[in-house]
A = this chain, B = another copy of it.
Amino acid sequence: MGSSFHHFILVILCSSCLLGAVAAASSPKTRHFRWEVANMFWSPDCLENVVMGINGQFPGPTIRAKAGDTIVVHLTNKLHTEGLVIHWHGIRQFDTPWADGTASISQCAINPEETFVYRFKVDKAGTYFYHGHYGMQRSAGLYGSLVVDVADGEKEPFHYDGEFNVLLSDWWHKNVHEQEVGLSSKPLRWIGEPQSILLNGRGQFNCSLAARLGNGSSSLCSLRADAQCAPQVLRVKPNKTYRLRIASTTSLSSLNLAIGNPSKNYWISVSQRGRKPPVPPPGLTILNYLPNSPSVPTSALPHSPAWDDITASKSFANKIVALLGLPTPPIRHDRRIFMLNTQNRIDGFIKWSINNISLVLPSTPYLGSIKYKLKGAFDNKSPPETFSSNYDIRIPPVNPNATQSSGIYKIEFNTTVDVILQNTNALAANVSEIHPWHLHGHDFWVLGYGEGKYSEEKHGKQLNLKNPPLRNTVVIFPYGWTVIRFVADNPGVWAFHCHIEPHLHMGMGVIFAEAVDRVKNIPDEAIACGQTGKMFVHNHHG
């Protein structure tokens, strides 16, 4: 954060910190939602485009619930030819692994005109979000906020007087089908940087508030207040405390967020980090002090770290520790998986791989094919647990070849698993990217980040077992490593992957099959496709 706060106090509880108390048993509710997903014309950044919306809204409707509640979403696909699923990012789906919303992993894609019912418990207060998890439908605009308040009778760890949702995303003018073709082409055509950064689905392409400001103009870009791209003004009262619920559903951009110095109107500025210019102009919105009327702040944009100031990012990341009193991780691991993140060539196509295996998803969801022990639904061979000890992470891969596979890591119930994510140099010299890794079905403890190649001897004792933050997403910094630990207490099939959508599309992920024999009562409609579908048909005929 490149800002200081005087007139009001800001409490930021980001989605990945997942602070908050476990639900008390008092009066949990079942909350029903009926959603229809369709493409529609929309102008997220003042330029009209086709956007995937829910019930005619972009971003989709915000779900608000209390810890312990059950959410029921009747999701109807009103697309013409595309399937879809929705993943509830950060919700662990205890006892409902089929509701995790990952196509080919936890369920079949929902076909056009079909309705699938997601029913799951939100057991932990926090700021979450949801998004498409099929093809590149997140980039197409399929996302929204999910906010879970503490249960009745429970208290948030901090006091605040008001709050705002700030859902961050990045936006391209090229449609996702064209993006996908580019990613699957030889030579690769990279999607490029986004055209705009959106706050709550609003940005201003080619009409940037920041650019105007640079030119000394204070025009609000002639935006009508009711324009779909008009920045949302966050209106606050002096001397009150506000919580910003920040969640980022970006497909590519890693972000810095800065808030301006006090005046009648503040800037909130969100800028891209870790990727070379030309980068999109910062996404902006305005914090307005009541009783003043909102206007474009006359101050300069607040200072953000430069895009390549990774030191600032690391320093920020390293400062985050868990709230006192939260459970600490088990002191020993039962298993440790080293994951080398490499960029590779397979038949001349550029892919991302883990230990030289690039993930391809099977047509039959793993949850059904593993549960019902179907043969040949995915690659039998598990991916390696480690990589060659003499791999030089500072140079492009000496042997850039990799293999595509749908193989899985089998995880025993209630074991403690460490993953050591090891970043490397990409195919081009002197390039190593930030990758945000997201684990489904669990929170994990972040035991540490470091430079270069992880060495147990050198780094093992630096790991934080005292108050490591509990998260579901963590970055690996360029040429660095990150160690996480989780307890395999949630039977199901869970993706662990780079949350950059085009990277996942290019194979950057792995699958954990966790005690699937303990999964009971998978709803048939979740897995009635591919080989599980055939099994039902076969049994039908006896």
Which residues of A approach B to under 8 Å, CB–CB?
38-41, 50, 80-84, 108-109, 111-114, 134-137, 175, 177-178, 180-182, 184-185, 189, 361-363, 505, 524-525, 528-530, 533-537, 539-541
Contacts and interface: CB of A to CB of B under 8 A. Distances in A.
Nearest to A78: B184
Given A111-B529, A537-B524, A181 B39 contact: yes
9 contacts: A50-B177, A80-B177, A82-B82, A113-B530, A177-B177, A524-B541, A525-B534, A528-B534, A528-B537
Contacts of A541: 524
Contacts of A84: 81
Contacts of A361: 113
Nearest to A85: B81
A370 to B, nearest CB: 17
Contact of A112 (B83, B505, B525): B83
Given A83-B81, A528-B528, A113 B363 contact: yes
How many monomers of this protein are in the complex?
Answer: 2
A147 B419 CA distance: 58
B50 A178 contact: yes
Nearest to A175: B175
A243 to B, nearest CB: 36
Contact of A111 (B111, B135, B534): B111
A505 B534 CA distance: 31
A535 B537 CA distance: 9
Given A178-B175, A540-B536, A135 B524 contact: no
Nearest to A81: B135
Contact of A81 (B108, B134, B363, B535): B134
A528 B539 CA distance: 13
Closest 4 pairs (CB-CB, A-B)? A113-B363, A81-B135, A80-B135, A539-B540
Contacts of A113: 361-363, 530
Given A39-B181, A114-B363, 13 more contacts: A40-B181, A50-B181, A80-B134, A80-B136, A81-B137, A83-B111, A111-B530, A112-B363, A175-B177, A524-B534, A528-B528, A529-B529, A535-B540
B114 A39 contact: no
A530 B175 CA distance: 29
Contacts of A80: 134-136, 177, 180, 505
Contacts of A536: 528, 533, 536-537, 540
A371 to B, nearest CB: 14
Nearest to A523: B537
- Which of A38, A39, A136, A537 has the largest number of chain B CB atoms within 10 A? A537
A521 to B, nearest CB: 12
Nearest to A532: B537
A362 B111 CA distance: 12
